[in-house]
Structure 1
Amino acid sequence: MVDGYDFGRHSRVLCVGDGSATYSISLCRRHPKLNVTVANLPEPPVVAGMEVRRAGLAGRITVLSQDFFATLPSGHDLVLVPSILQGWNSRQNRALLASCLAALPPGGTVAVAELVPDDERGAPLTAALLGMAMTVHTEHGGSHREGEIRRWLEELGFAGVRTTWLAAPGANVLLVATKPRDTSADLSPS
């Protein structure tokens, strides 16, 4: 996923739901000028903090306990949503993406990385199996197609949505969009 976009053009990244800080650590190792804030749900962020310290990146990665459906901290030029949408339903994902939009400055970027199935939800096999597992093992989860995620971003007011297909094991698509410089866009998740 790190190769699917030029993360080095950003300076402050908010990584939403990066449980053990895997994506954040990888980004900081690849881009030495990058600073990252990890926003995980309000559970003790012990694992993420431990992994960040183990990687020697405590000076560049901050871990927060945050209800990312309600609000996210501002001050970041990129919000990364790495492979977490499959854990939630459409309404919750729209609320999460609306929080991303509200947290970004005008001209800021959102990048959504996911493992998505095709339109028939049968391929790739890993995406189909993950969608099935999320349906069975989470209260609200399931698989979401690239077109659904694109539609959520556009309906919420993000502009210029671009899709890049990836060959990464944890995510096969990266959708990148921009918060318009005109801040009069409706920020409600509907």
Structure 2
Amino acid sequence: MSEINFEKLEALSDLCTPWCLHTVGTLRIADHISRGINHIDDLAKATESNAYALLNVMRHLVSKGVFEETEPKQFGLNDVSRGLVESPYRPDLTGIFGRMAYAWGTLPTYVKTGESGYHEQFGLPFWEDLAANPDVGKSFDDLMGIAGHGVPDPHFPITGDWDSVKTVVDVGGGTGAMLAEILRARPHIHGTLVDLPGTAARSAEIFQAAGVSDRVTVSGQSFFDPLPAGADIYLLKKVIGNWPDKEKKEILRRCAEAARPSGRIVIMGGVTPDEESHHLSIEMVLVGGKPISLSEFREMAHEVGLKITSTWQHGGFLVECQPI
């Protein structure tokens, strides 16, 4: 009989460590230590916590190599915990990171049904929850925008050249980070941002900072409704993979309607080469979304009146379509 690695199994199934990390991240413990507050009593006072409970959390994390206990009940940072200081990716139970953390508890529903169980935890489906909780919605927008992902690369390939492109509609473009860079790089283009009203309203600052406000139209709406028609390019960046197949098809249908007769749809993210395998992601748990292979996408696109004209690898897999 083969040996069983119980130690590795226990380590992989341990929920204590990630929850301790999320807790100290939420309390900004590393930030306090970096400012010289390092005794457990002072840390508890600064974070309005129970000293005994916090001590047990800190000592667990010390045992995992996250902090150092420099003297009894006094803690210091090391090469791991310094990553928790003022970091946009620190584990956190507030805002969108908190939603993600708790959403993993609905994974059994996703595995059983292939659909998101997010509403079981938060009372509403993901997108409706963001709309009903503006603070969480804003933290999601920050994660998707420049603050979370850095300045996007607008130099992605298209068929032909950009000189002939006069108008771009960024469908589901969040707070406009990508569209702002496209317009900044190409002063002859006018852009339209399409996203839900609360998100779209937060785009003004980004467009103003990029110096492109005079060339942008903002349409606060659902992309399941008719889209602004007649543009040269309709961009779907990290949109398709966030939805189940039924919704994917409806989004593509709306793009096809708006792009006729001569516009193009560029999909960045959510479509993969046929040979690429798919792996579990937080998007699957939050919204039941999934990437789609190129062959599956070709069939879906045809059903809504689109044909694939080009594909590229450019920091990810890109697909360009045109109305049939």
Normalised TM-score (structure 1): 0.78
Q: CA deviation at 1:175?
A: 0.9
Q: CA deviation at 1:120?
A: 6.5
Aligned to 1:29: 184
Q: CA deviation at 1:143?
A: 2.5
Check whether the contact 1:134–1:143 (CA below 8 A) recurs between aligned residues. no
Does the residue aligned with 1:3 lie in a helix, a strand or coil? coil
Check whether the contact 1:15–1:81 (CA below 8 A) recurs between aligned residues. yes
Relative CO higher for 1 or 2, CA cutoff 8 Å, sep ≥ 6?
1
Q: CA deviation at 1:142?
A: 2.3
Aligned to 2:294: 146
Does the residue aligned with 1:106 lie in a helix, a strand or coil? coil
Distance in 1 (alpha carbons) for counterparts of 2:232 and 2:317: 21
Distance in 2 (alpha carbons) for counterparts of 1:80 and 1:122: 25
The structure that is strand-richer by fraction is 1
Check whether the contact 2:195–2:219 (CA below 8 A) recurs between aligned residues. yes
Distance 1:105 1:119, change over 3 A: closer
The one-letter code sitting in structure 2 at the alignment partner of 1:173 is: F
Distance 1:149 1:43, change over 3 A: farther
Distance 1:119 1:140, change over 3 A: same
Check whether the contact 2:174–2:199 (CA below 8 A) recurs between aligned residues. no
Q: Structure 1: which 5+ runs fail to align?
A: 181-190
- Among 231, 239, 243, the alignment partner of 1:88 is 243
Aligned to 2:228: 73
The structure that is helix-richer by fraction is 2
2:281 corresponds to 1:132 = yes
Q: CA deviation at 1:119?
A: 4.5
Distance in 1 (alpha carbons) for counterparts of 2:283 and 2:323: 30
Does the residue aligned with 1:163 lie in a helix, a strand or coil? strand
Q: CA deviation at 1:53?
A: 1.4
Alignment of 1:92-107 (within 5 A): 92-107=247-262
1:20-44 deviations in whole A, cap 9, x for unaligned? 2122112112211011001002434
Distance 1:53 1:32, change over 3 A: same
After TM superposition, the runs of 4+ consecutive aligned structure 1 residues lying more than 3 A away are 115-123
Aligned length: 169
